[in-house]
Amino acid sequence: MPLLFSYGTLQQEEVQIANFGRALTGNKDTLECYVVGEIEITDERVIRESGKAIHPILRFTGNSMDAVDGTVFEITDLELAKADDYEVEDYVRVAANLKSGAECWIYAAGSNA
């Protein structure tokens, strides 16, 4: 089953229920070499589900001193596809390794963000 690292709205129970039909349980972990910025979301569905128009977005720095705390969730392949649908086009899904050594998926800033 895929692992998904969340540092933002996918940690919100109401977003999880709206997208996956269930609340997720996860473990705290840290993603190194990234910082969190902000982006304005215009997708009405995402704003409605998250309750906010300004969302965090990961930006790769390559600096191992930079780190982002979040939660890693074990989800199904179908749920990963639903997460892809939830994230707007400014985000891209990329593979990453967490401080714990776990391999996971993250949503980070794409080239247009």
Give the mean pLDDT of the chain. 95
pTM: 0.91
For the stretch 60-76, pLDDT in tens is: 999 999 999 999 999 99
> Do the beta carbons of residue 99 and residue 21 sit within 8 Å?
no
CA–CA distance, 98 with 39 (Å, rounded to integer): 23
Strand stretches in 7-111, DSSP E: 26-32, 34-40, 54-60, 67-74, 91-97, 103-109
Mean pLDDT of 20-25: 96
Superfamily of domain 3-109: Gamma-glutamyl cyclotransferase-like (3.10.490.10)
For the stretch 56-112, pLDDT in tens is: 999 999 999 999 999 999 999 999 999 999 999 999 999 999 999 999 999 999 876
Look up tokens 């704003």; give the residue.
47
